[in-house]
Amino acid sequence: MPSLLSRVLLVPTVGGADCFARANQPLGAGLAQIALNNAHHLLAENSLRHLMTYPGPKEVWTNSASNAEFPWDRYYDSTDGTGGGVLVVATGPIVLRKYGDSGLWPKVTWKFRWHCGDNSGTKQKITIVTQVARWGEHPRNASYSLQSTTYNDSDTTFVTASLTTDLGVGLNTQSVPFNPAQDPAESGTLPIMRAWAGFYCEANNKSYSGEVAGVACYLEENP
Amino acid sequence: MTTARVLEVVPFVSPDAYETGRTVRAAHGVDLANLANFAALGHPSQVLHFGKILDEGTYSAYFTPLPGVVDYLVLAGWLQFKIYDTGATCNLTIKVYDLSGNSYSAPAPFDGTFEFRPGRDVPRNDAATSIQGIFSVDAMVAAGLDTSDDSWRFEVDVNYTVPYVPLVGPHIILDGLTVFELPRRTVNTADPYGVLPGAFLPLAPIVDVGQVQGVLKALEGAYNSSLRTYLSLAVSEENGALYTTQGAVDGSLDNLEETGTTPITFWCRPRYLRGTTSRFRFQVRYKVNGDDAEVKITTAAGSYTITLVDSGGAWADSTVGTGYFTCTGPGDTDSMVVTGSAVAGACTLSAITVWEYPE
């Protein structure tokens, strides 16, 4: 459940002269409630984090036959004419934690600035495709729901948009072994994933390219 | 030193269990201890994202050292060929610096001598293309880095035997490079945060004030240590498209412009703790010659500036600046833009990091 106060309630410094838990002080329900509230709130907020930012701006002008067939392997920037035209950005590995005690994975949000291309007054739609893959798994083969949104309501002026992906209860994250040799007590496995976003434009002509800038990816609460 | 496992699940614990008048049971203390331990040690959040690296050279990012809370930093990278070339390899030299210039040099294979090379025709993000490294924070402390510093600088020097040239021939690149903090799996009484759940025994009186204080202390750790990196931008000092300004009046930086002179807007979701703002630190890697310069970060809460002292044209670490995001509750987002000015000559930045600084 969410914390009672939806915020942290600060208490005097632990061990200080005013510490609520100093010696010979009665241990009341109030202190336990504060501790529980703070623990709930911090567990929920600490399970979220900022993952990456890609500055851009980058032009996109190449179309994709479908979202499912998005060319994830075009790993060069769109400035590279032969392999470019789409933009692919990805986070590094993410150590996932369930959102608080909800039992749900956090949501992944991509927030960015964009404008689409203009072909003699006809706006050339830009589409973002998002995907979540396990560490070491190709994004095309990822088993999680592929999501997308198409934009066409701004031609030359950058505007802000965002797309939030719910990983769903079916997400079965990969456990990757970490075995630091120095301290066996710290060995174990972790649920790790990477998040991907691809942008393409229906123009299929660099003269009518759109642009994407300031792509940020972060985790959000769920539900 | 006594250790216990961090319970990596969040059990449902109702506030009703802690009502006034209820009998205190061992589970009350055990549950609080487990929740506090996981919140403090299981959620490190600093992520140094270097992204795709086309250019050889030196890349930097800053972070707050958390020895005793975070024991290891993990480096993860992916290599890709454009066209397979048996001679194309990559080597990495990893160093970490404190504010005084003391340094830690990573051992092999991250000492610049090992040649990383993926297999032929391996798909993107395949495990066979990945590079992993785990670096001990204790080793960095042992190397002399000052744990009381506000920040340390993580430096990656990238070298390719067949570098990237746009539109030309075979080459190898790092498709992505990220450094993140590894969560702790154990509570250790020798560390600053963490409490042993087993200290709360059924039928046993709570005679050690440290038991309850340990819970509160661990929650202090959860508040102070799960730091988000809100912006991590780095380009090659030697070959990258550097962030530059030559204007005496504050304005956008070259290569950080959305269009014209409009700076790029960077979004983030600050960690909401309390109040109406969320504090952050920021630091840049820069060089300026002839006079001081300034770099400024503007958010919805205000504008925050650090002075870049004349470095005589050499690369230098700025002082650590402080600023605020507007954040009035969980789920709030804010944005930031980075601008700068230089009184004399050009001010050039190769790295900009913005990360959380709880208050």
Tell me, what's the pLDDT at B127? 66
Cα B152 versus chain centre, distance: 10
Tell me, what's the pLDDT at A181? 42
Which member of A90, A138, A216 has the closest CB to residue B267?
A: A216
Does A45 sit within 8 Å of B35, measured CB to CB?
A: no
Tell me, what's the pLDDT at B138? 92
Does A135 sit within 8 Å of B39, measured CB to CB?
A: no
User: What are the residues whose beta carbons fall under 8 Å from the beta carbon of A92, sequence distance 6 or more?
Assistant: A51, A52, A194, B47, B49, B76, B176, B177, B178, B179, B180
Distance of residue A206 Cα from the nearest chain B Cα, in angstroms: 16
Cα B63 versus chain centre, distance: 4
| ipTM field | 0.94
The yes-or-no verdict on residue B135 having pLDDT over 50 is yes
**pLDDT tens-digit series, residues B245-257:** 999 999 999 999 9
Q: Pick B24 or A179 by higher pLDDT.
A: B24
Does B274 sit within 8 Å of A7, measured CB to CB?
A: yes
| CB neighbours of residue A221 within 10 Å | 18
Sheet holding B72-81, edge to edge: B47-49, B172-181, B72-81, B130-136
Tell me, what's the pLDDT at A214? 95
Note whether B178 contacts A: Cβ–Cβ < 8 A.
Answer: yes
Residue of A nearest to B80 (CA): A75
Distance of residue A214 Cα from the nearest chain B Cα, in angstroms: 5
Chain A residues within an 8 Å CB radius of B232: 52-53
**pLDDT tens-digit series, residues B305-347:** 999 999 999 999 999 999 999 999 999 999 999 999 998 889 9
Residue A124's beta-bridge partner residues? A117
The yes-or-no verdict on residue B356 having pLDDT over 70 is yes
- Give the Å distances, CA to CA, from A139 to A85, A88, B47, B152: 18, 11, 21, 34
- pLDDT (mean) for A62-76: 80
Chain A residues within an 8 Å CB radius of B134: 178, 180
* DSSP assignment string, A44-98: HHHT--EEEEE---EEE----S-STT--TT--S-TTSTTT-SSEEEE---EE---
Note whether A12 contacts B: Cβ–Cβ < 8 A.
Answer: no
Note whether A29 contacts B: Cβ–Cβ < 8 A.
Answer: yes
Tell me, what's the pLDDT at B229? 98
- pLDDT (mean) for B59-73: 95
Chain B residues within an 8 Å CB radius of A94: 180
SS3 (DSSP) at B26: helix
User: What are the residues whose beta carbons fall under 8 Å from the beta carbon of B218, sequence distance 6 or more?
Assistant: B33, B36, B37, B39, B40, B193, B194, B195
Distance of residue A146 Cα from the nearest chain B Cα, in angstroms: 17
Work out the percent of chain B whose per-residue pLDDT is above 90: 68
The yes-or-no verdict on residue B121 having pLDDT over 80 is no
Q: How many CB pairs (< 8 A) connect A and B? A: 251
Residue A67: which pLDDT band, with cuts at 50, 70 and 90? confident
B101 DSSP assignment:
-
Q: Which of B66, B59, B72, B47 is nearest to B139 (CA)?
A: B72
Highest mean pLDDT among A158-172, B190-204, B325-339: B325-339
The yes-or-no verdict on residue A74 having pLDDT over 90 is no
Q: What is the mean pLDDT of chain A?
A: 81
Note whether A82 contacts B: Cβ–Cβ < 8 A.
Answer: yes
Sign, CA dihedral B201-B205-B206-B207, equals negative
Residue A132: which pLDDT band, with cuts at 50, 70 and 90? confident
Type of residue numbered B329: G
Tell me, what's the pLDDT at B320? 98
Which member of B126, B183, B271 has the closest CB to residue A136?
A: B126
The two three-digit tokens of residue A87, written as one number: 């933009």
Type of residue numbered B101: G
Residue of A nearest to B131 (CA): A136
Residue of B nearest to A58 (CA): B258
Work out the percent of chain B whose per-residue pLDDT is above 70: 96
Which member of B19, B130, B138 has the closest CB to residue A136?
A: B130
User: What are the residues whose beta carbons fall under 8 Å from the beta carbon of B164, sequence distance 6 or more?
Assistant: B54, B55, B82, B171, B172, B173
The yes-or-no verdict on residue A166 having pLDDT over 90 is no
Residue B5: which pLDDT band, with cuts at 50, 70 and 90? confident
**pLDDT tens-digit series, residues A103-130:** 888 999 999 998 888 888 888 888 888 8
Tell me, what's the pLDDT at A171? 59
The yes-or-no verdict on residue B128 having pLDDT over 70 is no
Tell me, what's the pLDDT at A189? 75
Provide the chain A residues 151-210 that lie in CB contact (below 8 A) with chain B. Answer: 158, 160, 162, 178, 180, 182-183, 185-188, 190, 194
H/E stretch holding A40: helix A29-46
Residue of B nearest to A157 (CA): B259
- Give the Å distances, CA to CA, from B210 to A28, B168, B198: 16, 65, 13
Looking up tokens 């632990």, which residue turns up?
A14
Highest mean pLDDT among A76-90, B169-183, B260-274: B260-274
Tell me, what's the pLDDT at A154? 62
- pLDDT (mean) for B282-287: 98
Which member of B12, B24, B178 has the closest CB to residue A93?
A: B178
- pLDDT (mean) for A33-57: 95
- Mean pLDDT check: name the lowest of A78-87, A97-106, B143-152, B169-178: A78-87
Note whether B51 contacts A: Cβ–Cβ < 8 A.
Answer: yes
Tell me, what's the pLDDT at A134? 76
Distance CA A80, CA B168 (A): 10
CA A223, B6, B10: angle at the middle one, nearest 5?
25
